[in-house]
Amino acid sequence: MKVSFFGAAGEVTGSCHLVEAAGHRILLDCGMIQGGRDEARRNGERFAFDTRNLDTMILSHAHIDHVGRLPLLRKRGYKGDIHTQYATKSLSKIMLEDSARLAAQDVEYENKRRARRGMKPIEPVYDEDDVRDVLHQLKGHAYDQWFEPVPNVRVRLRDAGHIIGAAIVEVHADEDGQTKKLVFSGDIGPKGTPILRDPTTVTDADLVMLESTYGDRLHRARTDTIAELGQIFETVHQRPGMVLIPAFSVGRTQEILYWFAQNFEEWGLDRMQIAIDSPMADKVTKVYDDHQDLFDEEAKHIWQNKLNPFKLPNLRFIASVDESRRLNETKGGQIIIAGSGMCNGGRIRHHLKHHLWRDSTHVIFPGYQAHGTLGRELVDGAKFVNIFGERIRVQAQLHTVGGLSAHADQAGLLEWYGHFGSKPPVYLVHGEDPAREVLALKLREQFHAEVELARPGMTVSF
């Protein structure tokens, strides 16, 4: 069995890995690279492997940095099956359709700029037709059930506790009378995440590919984070202002609504208007509602007996662009949750443009902000930022509340790996080098594990 790393090897986006086993070539994920313009350009480059020689594909979950280049993969020759958890199949349709729409808008804007300069127009890396084609290739599976995507290779998807449908991927390959087992963590969620079940523990493997997004830090306790959110809203009520929350449409938005429901009166949310300014988040929330069988026991109880977080009395899901624009006509008394989570696209940028310069505005960052994104500029303390070509002064009050992360922290990653009895070799993926280096040191010290940092183009055999 061989593994080659082609994405999320030294960065946190663009997940893409090739497994060669039992005479077959199996792709794990095909995600979009996120960040600034340089990262965006990389998405259209040639794949570093032959797309026509792939035999099958496994998709860990529906976040765009894991699923985002699937239509391009199809466009460039891959016509085989794409196996994933059944909730991920539903979410992938929403994510990819939205991605194609945003790409078309970005290209339209860019081509107007190029036309004014006498430059040739460009085309998006894929369009809605490419999305429609690749969706036919998705095959849904339940957690914990074995399936055989190609002869002599068995796969099982385990609950990763990251977002609905997110999976740890176990690959068993039979070759030359031996069975080898690869475990790809995908993105591991923290224990105790609302709505979701805790990540499944796996006890045996010959090689582990482990995510490392937060390998160098510990999250605040969720209880502390919820208390901090309460304090923020107390401040908001003392001096009415806008509350802007850049949040991923999948996972983060739904958890925020969960905590809003749990603290609805205590935080004075009944005195404010709550807007989910994302058509995609509306669709995703409906998928969550449709898959309550994947909820943890506490969430199932809440949905049946208490205030449904997705149906708060003052909650609106904003669909049209005109409705979105009208949100900025008020200066306070409103909470706007909008994508994207790193402020590198979507409607949140419009709201930031209108309100960052006001000192009564509160911006809450509930998740990781990658290098090269507007969100990273803000949390790093930029005094001015450029949004849609305009220089905006930053006077808003900024809050980073890491306790809502959908990724396990260093302690969670170490605990998850610690369940492997034989302490197999580890290749760290999906993390920037500072985080990976610290996690590697901890794995060596605590478990005497063999640990390597995956690099683009690196191939390992075992």
Whether residue 402 has pLDDT greater than 80? no
Give the residue from 383, 404, 425 where a domain finishes. Answer: 404
Specify whether 238 is located in the same domain as 320.
Answer: yes
Give the Cα separation of 169 and 3 in Å (integer): 14
> For 118-173, how does the pLDDT look when each residue is reduced to its tens digit (9 = 90+)?
999 999 999 999 999 999 999 999 999 999 999 999 999 999 999 999 999 999 99
Specify whether 185 is located in the same domain as 247.
Answer: no
Query: What percent of the chain clears pLDDT 70, i.e. is strictly above it?
Result: 100
For residues 256, 257, 261, 264, the Cα torsion angle rounded to the nearest 10 degrees is 70
Number of domains making up the chain: 2
pLDDT value at residue 351:
96
> For 177-227, how does the pLDDT look when each residue is reduced to its tens digit (9 = 90+)?
999 999 999 999 999 999 999 999 999 999 999 999 999 999 988 889 999
Please report, for the domain that includes residue 367, its CATH number.
Answer: 3.40.50.10890
Which among 130, 93, 109 is positioned nearest to 40, based on CA atoms?
109
Which among 442, 409, 443, 407 is positioned nearest to 424, based on CA atoms?
443
> For 60-111, how does the pLDDT look when each residue is reduced to its tens digit (9 = 90+)?
999 999 999 999 999 999 999 999 999 999 999 999 998 998 889 889 988 9
Give the residue from 404, 431, 447 where a domain finishes. Answer: 404
Amino acid at 142: A
Average pLDDT value over all residues in the chain: 94
Specify whether 247 is located in the same domain as 374.
Answer: yes
Give the residue from 404, 423, 451 where a domain finishes. Answer: 404
Helix (H, G, I), strand (E, B) or coil at 265: coil
Q: Which residues pair with 400 in a beta bridge?
A: 365
Give the Cα separation of 414 and 9 in Å (integer): 19
pLDDT value at residue 38:
81
The region of weakest confidence among 16-20, 67-71, 256-260, 300-304 is 300-304
pLDDT, mean of residues 417-446: 97
pLDDT value at residue 405:
85
Helix (H, G, I), strand (E, B) or coil at 196: strand
Q: How far is CA 155 from CA 32, 145, 147, 167, 179, in A?
A: 24, 8, 5, 11, 13
Contact criterion met (CB below 8 Å) for 279 and 179 = no
Residue 37's Cβ-count burial label (10 Å; 0-12, 13-18, 19+) is: exposed
DSSP 30-64: -PPP-SSHHHHHHTTSPPSS-GGG--EEE----SH
pLDDT value at residue 65:
94
Specify whether 213 is located in the same domain as 195.
Answer: yes
Specify whether 27 is located in the same domain as 129.
Answer: yes
Specify whether 104 is located in the same domain as 127.
Answer: yes
Specify whether 256 is located in the same domain as 323.
Answer: yes
What six digits make up the tokens of 390? 């305009």
Contact criterion met (CB below 8 Å) for 19 and 207 = no
Whether residue 20 has pLDDT greater than 80? yes
Query: What percent of the chain clears pLDDT 90, i.e. is strictly above it?
Result: 81
Specify whether 6 is located in the same domain as 150.
Answer: yes
Specify whether 212 is located in the same domain as 262.
Answer: no
- Provide the whole-model pTM: 0.89
Give me the sheet containing 24-28, strands edge to edge: 138-141, 82-85, 56-58, 24-28, 16-21, 2-7, 459-461
The two beta strands, 334-338 and 242-246, are parallel
pLDDT value at residue 411:
97
**Phi, psi at residue 259, to the nearest 5°?**
-70, -30
> 290 falls in which pLDDT band (50, 70, 90)?
very high
Specify whether 417 is located in the same domain as 354.
Answer: no
Please report, for the domain that includes residue 132, its CATH number.
Answer: 3.60.15.10
Q: Which domain holds residue 386?
A: 222-404
Which one is predicted more confidently, 330 or 269?
A: 269
Specify whether 175 is located in the same domain as 287.
Answer: no
Whether residue 240 has pLDDT greater than 90? no
Specify whether 338 is located in the same domain as 421.
Answer: no
pLDDT value at residue 294:
97
pLDDT, mean of residues 114-120: 93
